Amino acid sequence: MRLRDCHNFHDFRRLARRRLPRPIFDYIDGAADDETTYRRNTASFERCDLVPNVLRGVETIDMSVTVMGQKLAMPVYCSPTALQRLFHHTGERSVAAAAAKYGTMFGVSSLGTVSLEELRKAHDTPQVFQFYFHRDRGLNRVLMQRAKQAGVEIMLLTVDSITGGNRERDLRTGFTIPFGLTLGGMLQFAIKPMWGIHYVTHEGFKLPQLDEHIDMSGGPLSIGRYFTEMLDPSMNWDDVAEMVRLWNGQFCLKGIMSVADAKRAVQIGCTGIVVSNHGGRQLDGSRAAFDQLAEIVDAVGDRIDVIMDGGIQRGTHVLKALSLGAKAVGVGRSYLFPLAAAGQAGVERALGLMRAEIERGMRLMGCTAISQLTRENLRFR
């Protein structure tokens, strides 16, 4: 199987599975507990039908959107995800380059493996910096100031990860933080030697956003200290309101799932929220983001930019979310599997296929611009 054989999410997933050691593949692919929410995220789109219009003159399609002040050439962006150079040695460099090629936004995680400054200098496309709330309030301010100086447009605070989800696939292989590989997990690395060859022959693993704050001499093992010692489970709305004031710009909360929280985000001055259950990796049994989207848009969509992520695998999924009122959608696994499979070429192919699916879908729906997608185009079973 080669990259040219990949035509959809499932093809990229299969190719990534062939190329990655099983513990790393399961880290991307897995979710919390029984993985019920993970499955629901995509299944939720199947309960929604599109109602197309015809004879509308669709020779020209404009799929551009404006989100939190940023003009994107397509309504899909690459959500920030951690540890990307574990999946492919080029990591965030490939994702940023592919996003720039397609004129869309990409995110850099505080647990990213390439510095936000390097990526900001390399690409003009809008950049999001995602971070977690730390016990050390000074560290929070330092990270925000660093992002501001680098020219990052959007600050994104993840609010649904004050403790890690119970990801049992990782427990079985030993791919935990810190690592404690089981015998079976070690065997999986042995039978996929190319990953190890790339890992040891390229630059060392590091977390440049945090290298001044975490001793990385132990390699990936050291990440455990970040979760166990540095994140603050006492974070509350007053803490976030202070950060919004300090940033004084586009500020987004990722992990909002209730109307009450969406309204509170508006009250403290956020300019965007991401309706998200963290890809099913945190609270299993949580409602699918798509199922929760409409009531949140109805409550606050006229006052704040509502984005969603979770389960997006097709261009038609994007059209359904936009028809409900989302300004854009984020993808994670939909670019991580292509990254793992083929680096930058993989991410470019995945974004290209997604763009083609959205354009084709808009033509078949009789829509020439994203603004023409409305709930009149939808029916729920």
What length is written for the chain?
A: 381
* Number of neighbours of residue 154 by Cβ within 10 angstroms: 23
What is the C-alpha end-to-end distance of the chain, expressed in Å? 37
**Antiparallel, parallel or unpaired: β 48-50 and 378-380:** antiparallel
d(CA 136, CA 138): 5
d(CA 146, CA 104): 23
Q: How many CA atoms lie within 13 A of 36 on its CB side?
A: 7
Q: Which residues contact 266 (CB under 8 A, 6 or more apart)?
A: 300, 303, 304
Nearest to 380 by CA among 51, 54, 53, 52: 51
Please provide residue 66's backbone torsions phi and psi, each rounded to the nearest 5 degrees: -120, 120
Cβ–Cβ < 8 Å for 339, 361:
no
What is the amino acid identity at position 112? G
d(CA 143, CA 130): 10
**Antiparallel, parallel or unpaired: β 76-78 and 70-72:** unpaired
Tokens of 76: 């899909």
d(CA 86, CA 123): 22
Residue with tokens 């259950």: 277
Q: Distance between alpha carbon 108 and the CA centroid of its chain, in Å?
A: 10
- Name the DSSP class of 228: I
Question: Is 213 an active-site residue?
Answer: no
Catalytic residue among 88, 89, 278, 317: 278
Nearest to 338 by CA among 359, 313, 304: 313
* Residues assigned a catalytic role: 278
